[in-house]
Structures are given as C-alpha cells and as structure tokens.
Structure 1
Amino acid sequence: MGEMNLNNAEASNLTGVVKDYSVDSAATDGAGDQKETTWTNENWAQYLGYFKEIPELNSSINAKATWTIGKGIIADPETTLILDQIKGWGKDTFNTIIENMIRTYYIGGDAFTEIIRDEKGNLINLKPLDPSTIRIVANRQGLILRYEQISKVKTPDKRFEIDEIFHLARNRVADEIHGTSVIPAIESIILARNESIRDYKQVMHRFVKPRWIFHLDTDDTAKIATFKTKMDAANENGENLYIPKDAVVPELMATAPNATLDPKAWIDSQGDYFYEAVGTPQIILGGSGEFTEASAKIAYLAWQQNIEEEQLFIEEQVGQQLGMIIELEFPASLENELLSDKKKDGAENIQPNETTAGAGQ
C-alpha cells in the first residue's frame, strides 16, 4: 500500500498535449518558374453544395447579387440595344447574367461567361460557364494567356483566347491568378451552427418520442423480435401497449433533470457571427439583429457602401472586358434621410464620413 505522502505529488506537463488554436500559413496561387501556370477550382462542387444546402449562406449571397444589380443596368440607347439582344442560355437577360456571375464568384471566387460575337466583332451573347471546367493559364510573369474548358463529355477540351471569356475574379489576393471564395473563411461557423441545429432537432424529437430500454424476462430471440415489432409500432403511432405484469421492465432514457446546456443561445450567436463575417446585415434579409432605428440605419448605410463598391467593380469590368459603359443604380439609399436627421438634430450627431464613403478622412 502506498504511503499517501503529499510531498510526492507531481504536476502534469500538458505542453504539446493541449494545443493552442493556430492558423496554418498559406501561399498565393501565383505564377511559378515554369513557362505556364494553370489553375482550376477543384473545390467548386463542395462550395456549391454549401450554397444549396445552407439557407443563411444562400440568402446572403443572393442578397449580394440582387442588391448589386439594384434597379438594373443604365446605359445609352446604343449600348442598351446591344445588351437587350443578349439571351445567355436562351431565357437570360444581361441583368440576370451579371446577377448569376455575382452569385457564382461569391461561391467559388470566379465567374466565367463565353463572349460570343458576330462576323463583324459585335457582341451578340454571353453564355455562363461552369467554373469547375475552366482552367486559367498564365505565363511566367503572372499574366493570363488563355482559358481552357475541360470537356464533360468525350469531345476535346476547348481553348479560349483571353478576349473570348468575360472573367470576374472577385477579391483577388496579391499575385493570385484567380478570385477568392467567401466560403472557406466561414466554413467553421457554418459547420458549428448547423451541427448544433441538427443536434437540437434530435433532442426535440426525442422529447416528443423518447427512447426506452426494455428489460425482457426472456432470451428467446423470436419473442424478443415479436415484442420489438409491437413496441416500435406502438411508439411510432403514439399508442399504448399492454403487457403481462413483470414480463417487461421499461426504463426511460432521458436527459438529466438538472442539465442546463441550452444550445439556442449558441446557435443565435453563431448566426450573428456568420452574418458579420459575410458582411450582410440581418436587417437586409428581414431579420431583427439591429434593435434600434439608429443602429439599423448605420448597418444599412454600411451595407450601401459595400454594394456600391461591388457595383463599381462590375461597371469597370464590363467597360474593360466588353468595351461598354454601364451604370448600376443602388436600390434605395438612406443618405437623404440621414442628412435630414442631421438638419433636425444638429451636426454633432451625424458626421460627413457617416453618409459618404471617404468623406472627413
């Protein structure tokens, strides 16, 4: 028997056992020393799955696309006439094609459409392409040389010159030859929140239809199977089951009565964190995350700055790649209302940089 001497107590060493949170280092997908560098979005299928499966991600990305298009394209009559002829896959408009591309590059980082011209070089159509099939080819200097479409069938791959593809690469970083998807940065939030929702769904289901342990006074497999069938059917239909006394001892499997873990607050906090990370105020989606009129207005105004920057990106890319001057109008601005509040309440309440990006800096 041990001596029970406290002087012999030892402290543990958890160094290397309990690891601190850390972030892996990363390198850019820029051009290398080889003559040509290629890049294909191999994660598109997974990202698309997140978009189609996760409702908050779906609504946030759709809101970005819808608000960026706003009230639609504004252009001179000649440009408008050309854009009105663009039908995409047959039922598209130029507005829906751009909205599609915005949605696509938020999911995967890049959006591609084939530029189709007539014999005279006039733009006649833009056909959206699957990002997972497009290979970007850049030279040693990091400049895009061409695009290659990987065939989904037995036909050869198709090659496109740089001016045959309308390419929107959103949120490029450094020398990368592609855009950046919004999903990797929020993937852990998505998984944590939806895992909690799934677990709590099961908890609520088991509260209505609890699980039981039955101690049967037999080891006959046929009798056990018969009882199991009857009990499962009665439980599924919400019916009573009457059995001989002492033949079965039921035991309810239940959560401890003093358990205090409530996942609802965790789910809500992860939801708030998600919308903050993707940059979409919940009030835009019809939520009530902003509790006061003032905070809601500021959130809306911040959203407006982001959308107007997005619109500027689209306008510049259309001008540079398609050679057309367009304008995108923001759907509804609160700037005039805030300026009206400024006149009523005084200048000390609203500063110039609260209503105009870059002002007062």
Structure 2
Amino acid sequence: MSLAASQASVTGLFAARRRRLALAAGLLVLLLLVLAVLALGVGAVRIAPGRVIEVLGAALSGDREALQSREGLIVLSIRLPRLLLGALIGAALAVSGALMQGLFRNPLADPGLVGVSAGAGLAAAATIVLGDRLFGMASGQTPFILLPIGAFFGGLVSTFVLYGIATRHGRTSVAIMLLAGVAIGAFAGAMTGLLAYVSDDRQLRDLTFWSLGSLSGASWTKLTVVAPLVLPVLLAVPMLARGLNALLLGEAEAYHLGIAVQQLKTLAIVMVAIAVGASVAAAGVIGFVGIVVPHLLRLMFGPDHRMLLPFSALAGATLLTAADLVARVLVAPAELPIGILTAAIGAPFFLWLLLGRDRTLDS
C-alpha cells in the first residue's frame, strides 16, 4: 500500500507539473499574440486592434482590396516584418543565453556580457567598412547577405576564444570567464572604434546603428536572410537538452552517462555563433536578453533544459516584442534604440544576480 501510494503521489506531482508548464506556455503565447496585435497598430499612423486583425485576415484570404488599403500597406509592408524579425531575434538571443549558461554551467553566461555579441558586432562592422571596398555593388554598398556571414564568424571566434581561456581541466572559472569577456568586449570595441574612424558618413551611420541596437531597419529582405539561419537553430536546440542536463553534473559525469561531450560543446558553440551573428547583423547589439530570460525561467521552473530551451525561445520573443513596443511609444514620435532599453532593464537585473546572498563567483 505504501509503495502504491508513493507511486500515485509521484504521478500526481508530474501531472501537476505538466499542467503548470502547459498553463505557462499558454499564457506566454497569449501574451505574445496580444503584444503582436498592439505592435502592429502602434506608430505614426495608429490602427485599431480590430482593424489589424481584419488586415491579417485579409492577407490570409487573399483580399487584394484590403491589402492595398493604407492600413494594409502599413501593417504588412512595414510593421509585420519588424514584428517577426524582433520576435525571431528575441528568441535567438534568449536561446543563445540558455545554451551558454548550460555550456559554462553558470547563470552569469550571456552572449552580450561575455563578449560574443561584441565579437559578432566587430565582424559586422568590418564587413560594413571593408566589404564596401571588396564586395560592394555598383552603389558601393555591401550586400546585406554578407553581414550575417561575417557576424557568424566573429561570434564563433569569440566563443571559442572565451571557452578556451575560461576552461581548464574540464572546469570553467566564472571569474576568468567574466574577465575574459570584458577583455574581448574591450578589444572588439577598440577595433570597432578604429573602423568608425576610417569610415565615411554612410558607414558611420550604419556603425552607430549596430552599436545602439534597433529594429527600425527591419524589412522582408532582412527577414528572408535571417530566418533561414535562426529558425534551424531554434528547431535543433531541443536535441541538445539531454546532453546539457547531463553536463550540469560535470563533463566527466556527462561522458560516463554516454554523452559525446566534445561534440555537444562544438554544436552548442556553433549554434550560439549562428544565432547571435544573424541577430547582430540584422538589429545590432542588443544586450541582456540572454541572461534575463533563461535565469528567470530557471528560477520559476528549474534547470531542466527540455523545458528551459523552448520556453526561452517563447519568452525571448515576447520580451523583445514588448521592449520594441515600449521603445516606439516611450519617446514618440521619435524612437528609442531598443538596445538602450534592454540594457537599462538588464543591467540592474545583472547587479541583483551578482549581489544575491546565495550566489558567489567561483574562482
């Protein structure tokens, strides 16, 4: 009887956990949909939520008259690609943060904090300034397709360098990781400044865009370049969940559990480089999304990556959609760069994380 009661209790706990996760996922999806409708209606021309839904319905049904109306052109040609690009970048940055935290086994890891985004930004800046001379078209401007490629290699090199510096004998030092991240970020910032010094007026405007982070340049063209890079990563990361869960016990323990540790680390690093590189190329450096979202989810639901990775994608998309909406409303009719807003929110959160009584930096 005792054993049967225990089994029933465990089954009840698992059922309650599944219900709670399903409820949380449903609430996040609902919140994302509400924010999406609001974002499509907010701007210099305000469109009522009901009219936004009508336009989207007309797009699905192929109603040309509705699509060619002023509201239809604004929603579908200007605001919808911005919404989709922002959600995609938010998901990519949050998942990248969750992957890095699982790889380094520490909640302080974040692509922006440890220099990965800075490395990707440096490569994107080099592509903007030097690419005009090497690969520019007749107009002298670098094709956009080259930016994600350059940013990917910049993020990849930064991540490998960071991991190599911070990891010794299978153990990652958080203090060394943070210091190395500061050094990588400072070096990338110095090189980006040098590129800004030798750039012309148009290149300097583009570099300013990368440094502040913004979705104002979103378009269907950018979305069609970024989506094929980011979507496969978002679809593939759940396959790493079992390995990352085992890695929480340590690399030696994960190896004895049958995990190909080196292959797992390489895949995680490449996925982070692709996701962060494409995000930086499309919207510039947007910080702290990768540390805020996974850490809050970990506090709420635990460290299981089978839940953490997909929930990070959903919550990251929701967070960046909300941040972009606030950035467009806060100083209207002007627009606040979204990187400033995420830094203003994320920096105090990071300080709270550092100063928590139960959290210490391992050396």
Q: Which has the higher helix share?
A: 2
Instruction: Indicate the TM-score class for this superposition, using the shorter chain for normalisation.
Output: under 0.3
TM-score (norm 2): 0.23
Decide which structure has the larger Cα Rg and report it: 1
TM-score (norm 1): 0.24
